[in-house]
C-alpha cells in the first residue's frame, strides 16, 4: 500500500504549527506500518486530547479521539474485546504522564499488547504552554514564568519500573531510528513504549529561547547518543537513545483468554 493510502487526505492541511515535531512522528509511524505491510483495517489508533492526539484525525485506520489522559483506558477496552487488532496509542507528555500517569503505569504493569508513543515536547502545547511533568527543573513555561521547580520524570525509567516489556527512546531528528523503533514496537507482543523527544517551537522553544525548529532538532542531534556510547561515558548529561528493554513476558489478553477457557471449561463440566 502507498503511504498516502494510510492518511485521510480530506483532513489536510493539518492543524500543527510550522516546525512542530508531531508531523514527523506521524510520517515515521505511517512508514513503519507500510514497512510491516499491514492493512489499515487491522489497526486501531486510540488517542486522548492534545496537539499530539490529533494524529487520530489524520490516519485512515480505525480511530478514536477520546478524552485527555484516557487514551490507554479506551485502548485497553478495545484491545480486550478485539485482541486480534493492532493497537497504537500516541500521547503527549501531559496526556501520558500527567493526567494519564496512572493509566500509563497500570497498562505497563499488565503488559497489554499495544504500542504507546509518548510524544515528549516537554510542554502542554494545545492549551498554551503550561509546564508538564517532563518539562524539567529550571525550564520556563506560561505557568512557570520565574522557572519551574518540578523535577521531570524519566519516561524510560518509569516505563521500565512499571513493567513495560519493550521500552525505547528516540528523537524527531532521528527519523530512520524512529521508523525502525516503531516497527519493532508494533511487532512486539506486550506493552511497548516509544518515547520520542520532539519539538514545540511555539511554546517550549520560544519560552526557553531555544530557537526555531531547526535549532531544536540540532539540539536533539547534539545532546543525544546511542545507549552505552563512549560519548555518554565522557559526558553523562547526554540523553541515551535506543531500545532499553525488549523481553518476552505473559501478555494480558492471552492470559485473560486462558481464564475464559478455564471458566467455560468448568461451566461445561458442570453441565451449565
Ligand atoms: C480532563 C481534561 N483536562 C484538561 C484538558 C485540557 N487539555 C487539553 S490538551 C491538554 C494538554 C496537552 O498537552 P500534551 O498532552 O503534552 O500534548 P501536546 O498538546 O503538547 O501535544 C490539556 C491540559 C482536557 N481537555 N480535559
Ligand atoms: S503548539 Fe506546539 S505542540 Fe501544538 S501544534 Fe504548535 S508546535 Fe506543535
Amino acid 13: pLDDT: 96
Instruction: Report pLDDT digits (tens) over 82-112.
Output: 999 999 999 999 999 999 999 999 999 999 9
pLDDT of 138 reads 98
Averaged pLDDT for residues 35-50? 97
pLDDT per residue as tens digits for the range 161-177? 999 999 999 999 999 99
Q: Is the pLDDT of residue 267 over 80?
A: no
| CA gap 21, 117 in Å, rounded | 13
Average pLDDT over residues 206-232: 98
Identify the residue whose C-alpha is closest to ligand 1 atom 22.
Answer: 127
Give pLDDT tens digits for 235-263.
999 999 999 999 999 999 999 999 999 99
Cβ(129) to ligand 1 under 6 A?
Answer: no
Q: Is the pLDDT of residue 271 over 80?
A: no
Q: Please, are residues 231 and 202 in contact by the beta-carbon 8 Å criterion?
A: no
What confidence score (pLDDT) does residue 1 get?
79
**Residue closest to 104 by CA, chosen among 164, 148, 58:** 164
Task: Report whether residue 17 contacts ligand 2, using a CB cutoff of 6 Å.
Answer: yes
Per-residue pLDDT, 161: 98
- CA of 202, nearest ligand number: 2
pLDDT of residue 272: 60
Q: Cβ(180) to ligand 1 under 6 A?
A: no
Cα dist from 227 to 18, 155, 192, 232, 236, whole Å: 31, 15, 18, 8, 11
pLDDT at 268: 78
Q: Decide: 47 in ligand 1 pocket, CB within 6 A.
A: no
Q: What CATH number is given to the structural domain containing 222?
A: 3.40.50.970
For position 266, what pLDDT does the model report?
76
The verdict on the CB of residue 203 being under 6 Å from ligand 2 is yes
Is the CB–ligand 2 distance for residue 202 below 6 Å? yes
| Residue 146 pLDDT exceeds 90 | yes
**Residue 240: which residues within 8 A CB-CB, separation 6 or more?**
169, 224, 225, 226, 227, 228, 229, 232
What pLDDT sits at residue 133? 98
pLDDT of residue 16: 98
pLDDT on residue 142? 98
User: Which ligand has its closest atom nearest to the C-alpha of 126?
Assistant: 1
Q: What is the mean pLDDT of the chain?
A: 97
The pLDDT-based confidence of 143 (bands split at 50, 70, 90) is very high
Question: What's the CA-to-centroid distance between 24 and ligand 2, angstroms?
Answer: 12
Torsion angle in degrees (nearest 10) through CA of 182, 187, 192, 194: -10
Give the ligand with the smallest distance to the CA of 71: 1
* Domain tally, the chain: 1
Domain that holds residue 192: 3-269
Amino acid at each position: 500500500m502507498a503511504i498516502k493510502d494510510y492518511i485521510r487526505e480530506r483532513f489536510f492541511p493539518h492543524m500543527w504549527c510550522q516546525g512542530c515535531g508531531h508531523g514527523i512522528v506521524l510520517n515515521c509511524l505511517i512508514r513503519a506500518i507500510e514497512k510491516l505491510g499491514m492493512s489499515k483495517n487491522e489497526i486501531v489508533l486510540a488517542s486522548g486530547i492534545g496537539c499530539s492526539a490529533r494524529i487520530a484525525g489524520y490516519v485512515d485506520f480505525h480511530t478514536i479521539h477520546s478524552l485527555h489522559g484516557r487514551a490507554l483506558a479506551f485502548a485497553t477496552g478495545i484491545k480486550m474485546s478485539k485482541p486480534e487488532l493492532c493497537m497504537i496509542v500516541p500521547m503527549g507528555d501531559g496526556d501520558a504522564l500527567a493526567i494519564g500517569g496512572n493509566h500509563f503505569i497500570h497498562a505497563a504493569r499488565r503488559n497489554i499488547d499495544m504500542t504507546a508513543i509518548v510524544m515528549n515536547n516537554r510542554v502542554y502545547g494545545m492549551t498554551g504552554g503550561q509546564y508538564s511533568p517532563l518539562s524539567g527543573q529550571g525550564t520556563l513555561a506560561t505557568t512557570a514564568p520565574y522557572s519551574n521547580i518540578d523535577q521531570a520524570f524519566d519516561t524510560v525509567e518509569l516505563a521500565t519500573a512499571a513493567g513495560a516489556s519493550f521500552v525505547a527512546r528516540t528523537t524527531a531528528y532521528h527519523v530512520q531510528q524512529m521508523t525502525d523503533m516503531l516497527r519493532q514496537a508494533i511487532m512486539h507482543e506486550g506493552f511497548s513504549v516509544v518515547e520520542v523527544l520532539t519539538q514545540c517551537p511555539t511554546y517550549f522553544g520560544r519560552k526557553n529561547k531555544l530557537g526555531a525548529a531547526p535549532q531544536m532538532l540540532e539540539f536533539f542531534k547534539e545532546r543525544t547518543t546511542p545507549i552505552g556510547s563512549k560519548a555518554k561515558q565522557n559526558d553523562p548529561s547526554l540523553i541515551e537513545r535506543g531500545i532499553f528493554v525488549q523481553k518476552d513476558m505473559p501478555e494480558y489478553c492471552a492470559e485473560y483468554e486462558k481464564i475464559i477457557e478455564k471458566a467455560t471449561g468448568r461451566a461445561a463440566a458442570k453441565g451449565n
